[in-house]
Amino acid sequence: MSDRLEDVKRTLINPDLIISHKYDENKRNYYLHYKLTKDYLLVSVRYLNGGGYIVTAFITKKLVKR
């Protein structure tokens, strides 16, 4: 994902979709849609003690709707 660092930042600043995690109320999935390839960049963030950190980021074809 190091080659997509700017896309990760853009996803967190201006996501196309935000979905809360089903089992963890402190976790959110942020999505950026790539229209040409019909893929999504998923950036999973966990919030803890007033701050947040990225748990993982990857390209996927599916939205995880919880």
pLDDT at 32 over 90: yes
The domain spans of the chain are 2-60
Cα 30 → chain centroid: 3
Share of the chain above pLDDT 90, in %: 76
The predicted model gives 4-8 an average pLDDT of: 91
pLDDT at 58 over 70: yes
Helix residue ranges, H only, the chain:
5-13
The predicted model gives 45-63 an average pLDDT of: 92
Q: Could you tell me the CA-to-CA distances from 1 to 7, 25, 41, 48 in Å, in that order?
A: 9, 26, 10, 23
Within 13 Å of residue 14, how many CA atoms lie on the same side as its CB?
Answer: 3
Q: Is 41 exposed, middle or buried (0-12, 13-18, 19+ CB in 10 A)?
A: buried
Mean pLDDT of the chain: 91
Say whether pTM exceeds 0.85. yes
The predicted model gives 32-42 an average pLDDT of: 94
